[in-house]
């Protein structure tokens, strides 16, 4: 799979593009036309969820720092925050089931001795709780995959951000002047 094209800002900072000034200007105009000029806004469902709201505020600050706080990214960022909150919710449910299994295991002898449950029903309950944990783990993993895909596509990962950094330092020296100066 080929690499996506570099933004004009990166090409200009590298100062070594094979593109003409007209091509760069057309590309710069095209990039500007993709932005709405309006800041990100938070959806009501994100605002009503404390975890999603907190994540939205955090990401909005980061995007503002790199001049990407534009409404064009609004749907993706809101969706990302919702998935993030859902992931946290599934993780807390999984922890709750784990604690319940621990309590059930600790009280096993007492519950059986008092006749509250039979040994077979104890194992059925434990098995059902373990299956619930496995199911929640699968859901958490699928949510994490969604989060990673969004992060990768929106330069929110280190690798995605590094693709936009110039690879070689600028060499602004003039070879003729270097030769005349004896360098």
Instruction: Read off the tokens for 27.
Output: 């590309």
Is there a contact between 7 and 164 (Cβ–Cβ < 8 Å)? yes
Alpha-carbon span 48 to 44, nearest angstrom: 6
Determine phi and psi for 152, rounding to 5 degrees.
-65, -40
Is residue 167 over pLDDT 60?
no
Residue with the bigger pLDDT between 101 and 16: it is 101
- Give the least confident one: 13-17, 52-56, 121-125: 13-17
Say what the pLDDT of residue 137 is.
Answer: 93
Residue with the bigger pLDDT between 167 and 66: it is 66
Determine phi and psi for 68, rounding to 5 degrees.
-120, 15
- Tens-place pLDDT, residues 8-39: 666 767 677 777 777 777 777 776 766 778 88
46: pLDDT confidence band, cut at 50, 70 and 90? very high
């Amino acid at each position: 799979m080929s690499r996506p094209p570099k933004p004009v800002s990166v090409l200009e900072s590298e100062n070594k593009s094979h593109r003409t000034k007209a091509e760069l200007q057309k590309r710069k105009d095209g990039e500007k036309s993709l932005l709405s000029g309006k800041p990100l806004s938070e959806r009501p469902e994100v605002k009503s969820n404390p975890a999603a709201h907190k994540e939205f505020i955090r990401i909005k600050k980061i995007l503002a720092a790199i001049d990407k706080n534009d409404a064009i990214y609004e749907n993706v960022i809101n969706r990302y925050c919702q998935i993030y909150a859902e992931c946290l919710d599934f993780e807390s449910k999984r922890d709750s089931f784990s604690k319940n299994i621990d309590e059930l295991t600790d009280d096993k002898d007492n519950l059986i001795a008092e006749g509250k449950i039979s040994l077979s029903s104890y194992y059925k309950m434990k098995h059902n709780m373990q299956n619930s944990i496995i199911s929640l783990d699968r859901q958490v993993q699928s949510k994490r995959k969604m989060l990673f895909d969004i992060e990768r596509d929106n330069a929110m990962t280190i690798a995605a951000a590094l693709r936009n950094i110039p690879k070689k330092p600028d060499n602004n020296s003039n070879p003729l002047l270097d030769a005349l100066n004896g360098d």
